Amino acid sequence: MARVKRGVIARARHKKILKQAKGYYGARSRVYRVAFQAVIKAGQYAYRDRRQRKRQFRQLWIARINAAARQNGISYSKFINGLKKPLLKSTVRSWLISQYSTK
């Protein structure tokens, strides 16, 4: 059986990781072993923070809707309950859009 030479494949894999680590500080952008760890950790942070961003935006939207609802003399919970009733959906949605499109 012929000998398998992996030099080209290994170099390509290293280049791919170093390209992903471009812009990192010090050895993290130059040394494969350190760069690999940095890229893996960055991926973990990105995965976690994509979910955190969704949570934070939901908090922000709730706070904004609550503020707008209270300006009109209704609590957030009653407002959301009203949204779930079919007749109000379209009117409330248009009201919400008008509240934040003017700013």
Please, where are the H alpha helices in the chain?
7-20, 32-71, 76-83, 89-101
Distance (Å, rounded) from C-alpha 54 to C-alpha 40?
22
Give pLDDT tens digits along the chain (103 positions).
889 899 999 999 999 999 999 999 999 999 999 999 999 999 999 999 999 999 999 999 999 999 999 999 999 999 888 887 765 656 766 777 777 776 5
**What is the C-alpha separation between 58 and 66, in angstroms, rounded?**
12
DSSP-derived secondary structure letter, 29? G
User: Residue 73 — left, alpha, or beta (φ > 0 → left; ψ -120 to 50 → alpha)?
Assistant: left
The whole model's pTM is what?
Answer: 0.69
What are the domain boundaries of the chain?
7-101
Render pLDDT for 31-59 as a digit per residue (tens, 0 to 9).
Answer: 999 999 999 999 999 999 999 999 999 99
